[in-house]
Chain A
Amino acid sequence: MAASVLRLIYPGRRWALAWIDGGSRQRSGTQTGPASNWARGQSSVAQLSLHTAQKPRKGEHKWAAVVGLEIHVQISSNSKLFSGAQVCFAAPPNSLVSFFDASLPGTLPVLNRRCVEAAVMTGLALNCHINKKSSFDRKHYFYADLPAGYQITQQRLPIAANGHLTYSVYMGKKRSQMATKTVRIKQIQLEQDSGKSLHDDLRSQTLIDLNRAGVGLLEVVLEPDLCCGEEAAIAVRELQMILQALGTSQANMAEGQLRVDANISVHHPGEPLGVRTEVKNLNSLRFLAKAIDYEIQRQITELESGGEILNETRSFDYKLGCTVPMRDKEGKQDYRFMPEPNLPPLVLYDATSLPADADSQQVVNIDELRDMLPELPSTTRERLVEQYGILPEHSFTLLNEVGLLEFFQSVIKETRAEPKKVTNWVLNTLLYYLKQQNLAVSESPVTPAALAELLDLLDSKAISSSAAKQVFEELWKGDGKTAAQIVSEQQLELMQDREALEQLCQATMDSHPQVVMDVRNRNPKAINKLIGLVRRASLSRADPTLIKEILEKKLSL
């Protein structure tokens, strides 16, 4: 399985990462209000710059950072993990709360089959061993948005373990040198989400919304195989795409469907690992990368100045761009784990262990789910390279931007133009315009059909490629005109009349004798200048290849 693209970081060097806001960009159409603006605010910086934390100075030991992630993924399901209450983002507060979610005395958990299937599918996609028998535990702590005083999770025996996630990084300066890296997955556990607390400092009140309480989560625990923020962001992005391909989570970070806690430490290679800190609740890929790199640098600075690192929980202040200790996480927490007595062990079956008389509604069959797995991003990318002959790095970009692949495929379906041409237009022109205005692919004013029509005009040589750029710009304005209409209104058709073009060439030659002289004197650049002059005279409607041919003939080159 291959994955996102990482450019390895060089000290002091800045990199523009066009892909990085793909995650926070994705949002549902129903979202309105401040949250939406906030989400947009997060994705507004399309360019991400990172500094490495591992800059070795002369005469000093090199520092190495060790980063492990705990990723909480909200399962995409109609109802909650242990209750029948609906799952829906941005519903009115406390409108989706069952008696169990509110922890009314005497209520009991009933496991949601869909969540189990989502966990198994995710485990399979991440190459995990699926435990045929797993169990649930209670993790205790008092918090206002945790009504039972404990969270039901899978501490001792999780549903899946020992997997790995593969992602791709760019080596060196050239984009074509890619390397595959792997991060091990320790385990995937099913657990409940908590509610939300809203602190009203003005009235010193805390308001509780239990809509999220009890929503099914997959906690994906990665081994500390990562070395910097950017790598972490790439691994998470790959995970996000896998989850979206599986449909097991919408994995929208802006809506909190994918949240990351990062465990970070630094040490000198060959020496024992350093004391780690945990940075909690990172809710965009950009902040994830920034927070990790900030924290690595902070720890190095602290250690180099003779200080020590405390084993503490920190949060990322995205306004200040730094991590700060979390006050309410001070003091040692003992979660007093114990087995959840109200849920029998979760038993899964495969083709060999499935009892003959099993009710298919009552059992989860691992083999059946494996057969149902959709195409995963790595396979999709391989297919794109094979099917359309595009470059591997282009396949990454197509998948990284939400909706871009679908856009691309729609254009391909409707146009006669070559896939490479389509790739070029989609990845360069369209994506450039989208980035410029910070729009999602779904918000593009140019539809796949419009682009396909434009590319057809280009393909049939009805317009020049520079005219095509002009048409695209017009289409982008989105006033409902088709490419053909724009071409005819603005008279952008290529001059098909060879005679007229010959006259134009002659006229240009006549009025620029010096340039003609230069050409004759074998100045290689001069012919291009002449071509440019003819094109300008043709209002860009002439095919440069044809102009060149005519000029060369006339100049008897």
Chain B
Amino acid sequence: MLGRTLREVSAALKQGQVTPTELCKKCLSLIKKTKYLNAYITVSEEVALKQAEESEKRYQQGQSLGDLDGIPVAVKDNFSTSGIETTCASNMLKGYIPPYNATVVQKLLDQGALLMGKTNLDEFAMGSGSTDGVFGPVKNPWSYSKQYRERRRHDEHGDSHWLITGGSSGGSAAAVAAFTCFAALGSDTGGSTRNPAAHCGLVGFKPSYGLVSRHGLIPLVNSMDVPGIFTRCVDDTAIVLGVLAGHDPKDSTTVQDPIKPLMIPGEMDVSRLCIGIPKEYMVPELSSEIQSLWSQAADLFASEGAKVIEVSLPHTCYSIVCYHVLCTSEVASNMARFDGLQYGHRSGIDVSTEAMYAATRQEGFNDVVRGRILSGNFFLLKENYENYFIKAQKVRRLIVRDFVNAFESGVDVLLTPTTLSEAVPYLEFIKEDNRTRSAQDDIFTQAVNMAGLPAVSVPVALSNQGLPIGLQLIGRAFCDQQLLTVAKWFEKQVQFPIIQLQDLMDDGSLVLENGKLTSVSLT
């Protein structure tokens, strides 16, 4: 049952094949069994069980709230959850229990979803590995998959080669990949949803900026943050997006126009599509495997009659440095509220208010966060503002124009890699510092956030090592539905295999109806 997609399990609930409480308990049990993945910071067992009970009553009375009623979901621990600790994986917010729900959390709960817990991340979502939070790194479930282990047979066994999930929403990705829930919320500022989705073999969706409310999302970069969605298939993403999308009076940056109900048609005429391949994304660091899958995917579209053209996004190479200035500046500003006065950590040093601030922030934030605050404040200084912040904003405008030009030339969707390579072992990953890693890993995803466009990472195939590889589709602003329609068609063609975690769950609780490793159509 747990291996099913959200849509399938929703149907099962409606048909009474399983009750919300049974489903909830199975997920809770799996969460316990996969505790070593470190996907969850807080497991809200009691809340989930109570929600399941209420959902069950609704089903009994034939008053189901919809597709999400009784569906276990997880939420990244940088979304405010009323009565449930929200830490951002930081000492600063350890023990902080918000009094309100983020709008997206409330919308899920209003639809009857069961909140299983809060998932792990890089501290304040600053990172690309989910390795830099105070609760420790998240382990990629694929590290323990049959697919990966079989191909590493010559290697010594043991746990030392476990893989990172990518990040910063790695906990949410691991939670969905390990079947502990059917959908999870992440956040995406520079690729934080799409990157771990690619590494964990999931659909990772970043909506258009302004389509989904940020109220209650503890910000990284307000002008780029969006709540992201992890599911095991595109249809499930569409269901969740349908619930989340729309104007929120509490977030002035959400669109005012009413959102039409999301409809993802089963079939689509690919021959009318124009797919753009950005030539600047062909970088030397891109793994040959991914590069080859990328071109096969392009061929796939072409073979179905789509027009596939090369496009140029000439300012792509400035994206990371531009992002660095804008991100750290907003971080410096957003983090100013964490002073220990009203909530979160407060240092015992109290010789003066200033000394207390300094000690609180020293103790509360990790090096990555403090480093970004420092750089950001530097960029915002009066004497530097013109040279850094204003310039970065101008470059951002150029990057946005690149995309606009591409779409105006007739391109419907851009096809790119999501990551440079498949997931790497933790020991490999930590050889480089967070800043270098973030700069490298966001290369294909980050510009999308600058432009506020919708983008989705779709799992395409397994690498030679048996690890998932995702490709990214980027759509026009607010053409999220069209993007998901293309993604769904693409997903159907590639037939990505399901993760096989039998070794992990030897008691057989995980029944994979969809069966075996299917052939990878692209390789």
User: A residues engaging B (CB < 8 A)?
Assistant: 99, 102-111, 138, 140, 142, 144, 147-150, 206, 208, 334, 336-338, 341-344, 362
- Neighbouring B residues of A208 by C-beta, 8 Å: 341
In the complex, the answer to whether A341 meets B93 with C-beta atoms within 8 Å is: no
Contact between chains at A148 and B354 (CB < 8 Å): no
B71: Cβ under 8 A from any A Cβ: no
B345 at the interface (CB under 8 A from A): no
Please name the residue on chain B nearest to A206 by beta carbon: B353
A334–B99 Cα gap in the complex (Å)?
A: 34
Q: List 5 A-B contacts (CB under 8 A).
A: A106-B98, A106-B102, A140-B333, A144-B339, A147-B339
Q: Beyond A103-B342, A106-B79, is A338–B333 a contact (Cβ under 8 Å)?
A: yes
Whether B337 pairs with A99 at a CB distance below 8 angstroms is no
Q: Which of A111, A147, A337, A343 has a CB less than 8 Å from the CB of B337?
A: A147
Q: In the complex where A108-B215, A111-B252 touch, is A147 in contact with B341 (Cβ < 8 A)?
A: yes
Contact of A110 with B249 at beta-carbon distance under 8 Å, contacts A104-B343, A105-B337 already known: yes
Name the interface residues of B451-503: CB closer than 8 Å to any CB of A: none
Q: Would you give the shortest CB distance from A150 to chain B, in whole angstroms?
A: 6
- Name the distance in Å between B78's Cβ and chain A's nearest Cβ: 8
CB–CB B332/A336 < 8 A? yes
A86 to B219, CA, bound (A): 26
Cα distance, A344 to B251, chains bound together (Å): 10
Smallest CB-CB separation from A107: which chain B residue? B215
- Judge whether B100 and A99 touch: CB under 8 Å: yes
Q: Chain A contacts of B217 at CB under 8 A?
A: 106
Q: A108-B214, A338-B333 are in contact. Are A344 and B252 (CB under 8 A)?
A: yes
Among B98, B214, B222, B381, contact of A336 (Cβ-Cβ < 8 Å):
B381
Contact A104 B99 (CB under 8 A): yes
Is the Cβ of B337 less than 8 Å from the Cβ of A103? yes
Is the CB–CB distance between B253 and A344 below 8 Å? Answer: yes
Q: How far is the CA of A147 from the CA of B80 in the complex (A)?
A: 18
Residue from A108, A111, A138, A142 in contact with B333 in the complex, judged by beta carbons closer than 8 Å: A138
Q: A interface, by DSSP: helix, strand, loop or mixed?
A: loop
Task: State A337–B380 Cα separation when bound (angstroms).
Answer: 7
Q: What are the residues of chain B within 8 A of A336 when measuring CB–CB?
A: 332-333, 377, 380-382
> In this assembly, does B389 line the interface, its C-beta being within 8 Å of a C-beta of chain A?
yes
Q: Any chain A CB within 8 A of the CB of B287?
A: no
Contact with A along B210-251 (1 / 0, CB 8 A): 000011111101110000000000000000000000000111
A residues in contact with B389, CB < 8 Å: 338
C-alpha spacing A343/B214, complex, angstroms: 12
Residue of A nearest to B354 (CB): A142
| Additional A-B contacts beyond A106-B79, A336-B380 (16; CB < 8 A) | A105-B93, A106-B102, A106-B216, A108-B252, A108-B253, A110-B252, A142-B336, A142-B339, A142-B354, A144-B339, A149-B335, A149-B336, A334-B382, A338-B330, A342-B251, A342-B252
Residue of chain B at shortest CB distance from A149:
B336
The answer to whether B342 touches A106, judged by C-beta atoms less than 8 angstroms apart, is: no
Q: Does the CB pair B80–A144 fall under 8 Å? A: no
Complex-state Cα separation, A147 to B251, whole angstroms: 20
Query: How long is the Cα–Cα vector from A103 to B341 in the complex, in angstroms?
Result: 11
Contacts of A343 in B (CB 8 A): 252-253
Asked whether, in the complex, the Cβ of A110 is within 8 Å of the Cβ of B342, the reply is no
In this complex, the member of A99, A338, A344 whose beta carbon has the largest number of chain B beta carbons within 10 angstroms is: A338
CA distance in complex: A334, B335 (Å):
17
Are A142 and B357 in contact, with the CB atoms below 8 A?
Answer: yes
**B380→A338 contact, CB < 8 A:** yes
* Selected contact of B385 from candidates A110, A147, A337, A344, CB within 8 Å: A337
CB of A106 within 8 A of CB of B330, answer no
A342 touches B253 (CB 8 A): yes
Contacts of B214 in A (CB 8 A): 106, 108
Across the interface, name the chain B residue whose C-beta is closest to A342: B222
Q: Which of A104, A147, A150, A342 contacts B98 (CB 8 A)?
A: A104
Give the complex CA separation of A107 and B214 in angstroms: 9
Interface set, chain B 374-391, CB cutoff 8 A to A: 377, 380-382, 385, 389
**Distance A138 CA – B338 CA, assembled complex (angstroms):** 16
Minimal Cβ-Cβ distance residue in B for A141: B336
**Given A142-B357, A338-B380: A109 and B100 interface contact (C-beta under 8 Å):** no
Q: Assess the B330–A105 pair: CB atoms within 8 A.
A: no
Do the beta carbons of A105 and B250 come within 8 Å of each other?
no
- Residues of B308-353 at the interface with A, using a CB-CB cut-off of 8 Å, are 329-330, 332-333, 335-339, 341-343, 353
CB atoms of A149 and B337 under 8 A apart: yes
B256 part of interface (Cβ distance < 8 Å): yes
